[in-house]
Structure 1
Amino acid sequence: RLHPGGEQLLRRRAGTDVSAALDGPPHRHSANARRWLEQYYVGELEPGDEQVPPRGRTGTGVGTGVERPGDGTYSLCGHYNHCVPPQDLVDWQKPLLWQVGYLGEKYDEWVHQPVDRPIRLFHSDFLEFLSKTAWYVVFMVWTPVVLYLSWVSYTSLAQGNTRLFSSFTTEYSIPVHKYYFPFIFLLGMVLWSLLEYLIHRFVFHMKPPASNYYLITLHFLLHGQHHKSPFDSSRLVFPPVPASLMIGFFYGVLRLLLPEVLGLSVFVGGLCGYVIYDMMHYYLHYGSPKKGTYLYGLKAYHVKHHFEHQKSGSFGISTRFWDYPFRTLIPEETFKKED
């Protein structure tokens, strides 16, 4: 399910040589994608090693293997020592948050080389618990809030007391009717999609100075952890506790800029957009959309962001719309037709 081409594509090619497929079409696999495969490396078979274990014998390999002398078990590693993963720059047995700041100039390259393993951030079990969230928690926490605030906004507008520009002039102020609520709600969703793009591009993808331990640590806490381990299922959506602080901040800004009910109506639309964004982000990592659908293309687009274009493009997640005017759209790959 993690593969952007879908599980069935991998099953169809199981047991075959995929060297040519890695170079495309439909797309060329990046250096990070090829490096990703090394995590699942089992071993190499040379001529004469293709021995099938007798029926009833247990083995550590799958399908074929090489008998280990003395213990009667089988392993695809054969006579080679390639199954040991390479050493990393950090100690994965300890919390990473306090280690990454010491990487300095090596941090930017290290954090953009994804791995398939869970991350622990904090020594404290309580803080570690608060930093993780199952995808459905976001839906369960914020959907009731969206529904309740939508009802409050609509009923408040229905009273007919809300007017736009009333703080500047009473003669030319514009009444805001309850029938405008769906359009204001949609405006909030559109504004969220823009905010999603801007935060992702300019905050989450800032490049911290190599000499600043604290900014590197902050970057890893905000987003670097996700790029290092993009399929850590407990870190794909925003935890409710820190999310509530950010949501409260944006609500306060809207209250300052707009009349109370109008600001609340825009806010609840933006909050709905945030919930959709988080749910979609999780699905783009773990879902299996049907080939040719909008979500299928969006999943492939997002995977390119993680494995090849981490710094230069594809900053839209729930939509690619803002990548067009900001010129960060990842170009489509082209392949020469063979004669």
Structure 2
Amino acid sequence: MPAQLYTPFTSFNFGNRNCFLTGRRLSTEEEKIQVFPQWLMSRYSLQDKPFKLLDESMATYKDLKIPCDAAVNEEYVEPLEKEIAAAFERGYEGVEQLDELKLFQWAGKLLYGIIFNEIQAGIKQQHAQGEEFNMSQAIIHKFSNLHLMLQSINQPVIFDGFKPFSLCLFRVNNAEDIFGYRDEINTLTFSLRIKDFGIIICLQDNGVNQRYHKEILEKVQGHTLHPIQFEELNARFFYSAYLFNRLPEYSILPVNDDIYVEAMPLQGISSKPLFDHWVNKTYGQVLENFWKNWGFLLLEIIKDPENPMSFLTDAKGEFIPADKIQLPV
């Protein structure tokens, strides 16, 4: 029997009686899994820590759950979690050996779980005000494509000759129990800094953000980064993901039992560049947010408007080794 893709955004099905991954009807609304996996919450004592939703309401990490068929969880989700947990436990060396697709699936599942909770909260809020829930078509398009690709966890979905994501892994000289998590659901950007590594993933860009930052990535390759350097890279990726102005399109072709996904050319019929113009002042505002722990303000960061402050490269454009970085106490 040919594989059947589930499309929750067609009917806007975000209740708790259907599995988030397959759409299968659940026997009870309590059939759920944690968005942030238990092993990660336990390792970093996240369960009762606050998590702010887009409507400014507060939840805790353990409050974030998604409906999931028990059999699907046992056969597909749990094995993925165990593989990721084992790799993360080994640190950079373990994560480096992971299949990139597995990391993409894991990060995508987590981010989609947050999106699912955000949509549920939005629907409740709008209905309480007697209004219909609305979401832009562009955002629906992005989220639908992410969900399609997540089904590679449990379906024979094959990405034909392309990667739907940019994924960068770095060695980082982190403090022992640091848990640095960031996301931006509008641009589907994910970042995690733990143990001795940091990961940045743009989940829906067909790899173009990685190419956009090719020059700086080549300079940092093979180096262990100071946390402030990783956060600078983070700021660059989160900002470029915001500047990326295409909505990737895909053609889906079932072949026997497999589902082939092919990327349409991003350039399309437009002569416009794939990224909007980089504005240093706006980038400086992003960087200020990412450097909050170190107290740098926008005025310092863009003191020279043409050359924002950087801990990655010096005035000659050469990489600054982590042990040479001097920070204010």
Say which one has the larger Rg.
1
Query: Higher relative contact order by CA 8 Å / sep ≥ 6: 1 or 2?
Result: 1
TM over 0.5: no
| TM-score, normalised relative to structure 1 | 0.19
Normalised TM-score (structure 2): 0.20
